Structure 1
């Protein structure tokens, strides 16, 4: 049918009378206002559910279920925001001064995370040293990428249990900070969702699974727990446990154990640490227990052992310094009584110069807290176990290749005379600890710092 065929047909919408038109407009305005309120309410609910209310995309590798749910919410929210915007515009044209706003709100929860990492490629845990990569910097990259943190780092109430050195690993480090939550903020919790219990965790974000899909393969989160807002991963920890692994070779384990037991109790450990006179003024620490035991690992007739040291807190490089002196005792180069002499700061006010033990074999095994119960979903636990099994197989395969290389060297004749000569020279060159040059005492360091500050 062409356009001209409609010319003579009657108009289906005849013009209204002016009073009827005004009444109709008022009715539409009233309906629009009610609809706007409904949309704002629905919009707020959807914004609460999304991972980031300011963008319509979710980074890849986020947990698939969460990503799907968040993605749908973002799309629905965008449509509703557009609808609200159009309605607001129409309403303002009809009634100037009418104010509408979308509600943007993020629920947060104070959470403790238990973290494991393998420290060989990291410049320690903490990121203040301006060296990269650090474990802490990698964790925050993952937190930002998964949109689990909102705002600046200084507003997250972040704390960490320990600052492990370069190369040191951990299977039980703990950090605490404010993370986004699926739970509503409730009264009595400082404005944040989550009490110091296991309740109200159903339906919560699967922090472990989401973060482990983003973190590098040598860092993994192994559990999470809601924490009270006054919790501190550093100051709320009542004990820390370190393990130091070593091959027995020809070490005198009995002598090392005798010496190690002398560490138990409260002592001044200034001769067993790297002294930081500018920031640390109390060098007394309490060691709860010390044990040496064999591990279930053997190689070429040798056996792997581990020293387990438990204490309330530790000084900078304290464990590695303790282990270094124990190795001298185990080699027969020092008597177990040297521990007594070094712990007596009246007798030995200056630390003898010695090299601390290597960093790679040291592991922060656990950090212990009262009433802190870490949890992990079954899916996240299975994924974590599969990942660790895969990594273990990879390293065992590499060890086998190195063993093959070692076997290939057996066909080369060794110069036994030269080797024995070097071993004798090494033993003969040992200088007893109490006869070595010493470092400045704490008092000397502190005085020097004060004089520098006065200039």
Structure 2
């Protein structure tokens, strides 16, 4: 607005005066006219209009009013010209990106800009102007409380949902998940753990945009020099829940894909030896080596998976150093290029039948012969709790972890191990107090059922074949 002496008051970016203005119907009425933006260039024109308006009100001269109307049209044309020039201004373009399209016309409303700046979406738009780089993260998690890794699961929490909460909280995520070129290596199921899961996505970077990009994409070019970069491991581990940790990070090229760039995946399955015949299990497990059709060793997804041939490069059964009450902990190692849904758990379930003497090692050969066994026999999978995604191997990927982040990570894992060992000690104490000793008689519950006898796999009811499942799907569609 203008004082009576012509000086500006209020918002320095707004000039206004009382005069003839158009209403919504297009008629000229008395009101306030103004210009939002840089008032300096139009100061003389506005003062001239004010003087004409003053003469018009004093003399009520129709000719002067007509002149005023003409000058207002000239000012509107000049205003449009200046707005066109502002559109080409770099600072104006950045302001539009920061404030968004809804900001137009809101500056004249007191307090609206401050409220806009507090909106989460606006903060996200501010993040778009930071440098960013494509990064691979190595992730470990204890899967007991999670409904799988992928956030597409129908239940919460998932490992992926917790990861993205941490990424948003630390402002490392650039834009939305869909804009981050996100990919994951493995999609572990409910209860399955990992110490080598790998994901890749665009993250905020402290490094300047390389000249090779010409500043267009805002992405940092892959470079061996990472001095001054964000300590992704330390930053994320500070906000992640105790059962999820980032183990390392590595800059990767933009064509990297955590799933399709993976060369091999290795799983470990832990189990107590008890009375299992390890030699028989090894003999059976070695039959998995090489390329086979594993449709009888998985949960079939006929709607999405049409090729069930997979290659197993490594199978081994080895003891660990862990013992408990005379029982030793062993582990099955299986490495392959890719795995089907629940494939490892199905393989282990049949191996346990062999180890207990319920099935011959040759049953593996029979089940792998899909020309002979067209339908998978019905059997329960092995438990998901002892299954661990051990590693995901890539070409020329070396994960990094700073000394500070490494020390904090080590201290955290040591503390978690101690907590779980204390819990195990408590359960062991309960076991000693609840289970009768050898000198105490046990009265069996009269309603208890006898343990069901084993039905040979090849004599059991079977699931529908792949062809039958496809035919059913096609009939529905």
Which category of TM-score, normalised to the shorter sequence, fits these structures? 0.7 to 0.9
Q: Is residue 422 of structure 2 the alignment partner of residue 397 of structure 1?
A: yes
For residues 382-432 of structure 1, what are the alpha-carbon distances to aligned partners after superposition, in whole Å with 9 as ceiling and x for unaligned?
A: 00000000000111111111111112235556656959xx89x53x61000
Structure 1 residue 183 displacement after superposition: 1.5
Contact 1:115–1:220 at 8 Å: present in 2 too?
Answer: yes
Q: Is residue 251 of structure 2 the alignment partner of residue 260 of structure 1?
A: no
Partners in 2 of 1:196 and 1:211 — Cα distance?
21
RMSD: 2.3
Partners in 2 of 1:361 and 1:193 — Cα distance?
40
Q: 1:246 to 1:92 in 2, by over 3 A?
A: farther
Q: 1:94 to 1:286 in 2, by over 3 A?
A: farther
Which residue of the partner structure matches residue 170 of structure 2? Answer: 146
Contact 2:131–2:220 at 8 Å: present in 1 too?
Answer: no
**1:336-415 maps to which residues of 2 (within 5 A)?**
336-411=361-436
Total equivalences in the alignment: 362
Which residue of the partner structure matches residue 136 of structure 1? Answer: 160
Contact 1:194–1:200 at 8 Å: present in 2 too?
Answer: no
Partners in 2 of 1:254 and 1:138 — Cα distance?
42
Structure 1 residue 200 displacement after superposition: 2.3
Partners in 2 of 1:247 and 1:234 — Cα distance?
32
Q: 1:264 to 1:194 in 2, by over 3 A?
A: farther
Partners in 1 of 2:440 and 2:337 — Cα distance?
49
For residues 118-138 of structure 1, what are the alpha-carbon distances to aligned partners after superposition, in whole Å with 9 as ceiling and x for unaligned?
A: 000000000112210000000
For residues 360-399 of structure 1, what are the alpha-carbon distances to aligned partners after superposition, in whole Å with 9 as ceiling and x for unaligned?
A: 0000000000000110111110000000000001111111
**1:56-455 maps to which residues of 2 (within 5 A)?**
97=82, 99=86, 101=91, 103=94, 105-188=129-212, 191=217, 193-196=219-222, 199-411=224-436, 425-426=450-451, 429-453=453-477
Partners in 1 of 2:331 and 2:390 — Cα distance?
12
Contact 1:270–1:351 at 8 Å: present in 2 too?
Answer: yes
Q: 1:414 to 1:203 in 2, by over 3 A?
A: same
For the residue of structure 2 that corresponds to 1:208, the secondary structure is helix
Q: 1:414 to 1:187 in 2, by over 3 A?
A: farther
Partners in 2 of 1:154 and 1:109 — Cα distance?
16
For the residue of structure 1 that corresponds to 2:288, the secondary structure is coil
Structure 1 residue 339 displacement after superposition: 0.3
Which residue of the partner structure matches residue 105 of structure 2? Answer: none
Structure 1 residue 230 displacement after superposition: 0.7
Partners in 2 of 1:411 and 1:188 — Cα distance?
74
Partners in 2 of 1:196 and 1:264 — Cα distance?
37
| TM-score of the two chains, using structure 1 as the length reference | 0.75
Partners in 2 of 1:416 and 1:194 — Cα distance?
70
Contact 1:120–1:168 at 8 Å: present in 2 too?
Answer: yes
Q: 1:92 to 1:253 in 2, by over 3 A?
A: farther
Partners in 2 of 1:112 and 1:234 — Cα distance?
11
Contact 2:436–2:442 at 8 Å: present in 1 too?
Answer: no
Structure 1 residue 184 displacement after superposition: 2.1
Contact 1:194–1:227 at 8 Å: present in 2 too?
Answer: no
Partners in 2 of 1:107 and 1:302 — Cα distance?
54
Contact 2:137–2:246 at 8 Å: present in 1 too?
Answer: yes
Q: 1:333 to 1:153 in 2, by over 3 A?
A: same
In structure 1, runs of 5+ residues without a counterpart are 1-87
Partners in 2 of 1:131 and 1:346 — Cα distance?
38
For the residue of structure 2 that corresponds to 1:171, the secondary structure is strand
For the residue of structure 2 that corresponds to 1:262, the secondary structure is helix
Q: 1:385 to 1:417 in 2, by over 3 A?
A: same
Q: 1:370 to 1:328 in 2, by over 3 A?
A: same
Which residue of the partner structure matches residue 81 of structure 1? Answer: none
In structure 2, runs of 5+ residues without a counterpart are 1-36, 45-78, 95-125
Partners in 2 of 1:291 and 1:315 — Cα distance?
19
Partners in 2 of 1:414 and 1:268 — Cα distance?
52
For the residue of structure 2 that corresponds to 1:217, the secondary structure is coil
Structure 1 residue 266 displacement after superposition: 0.3
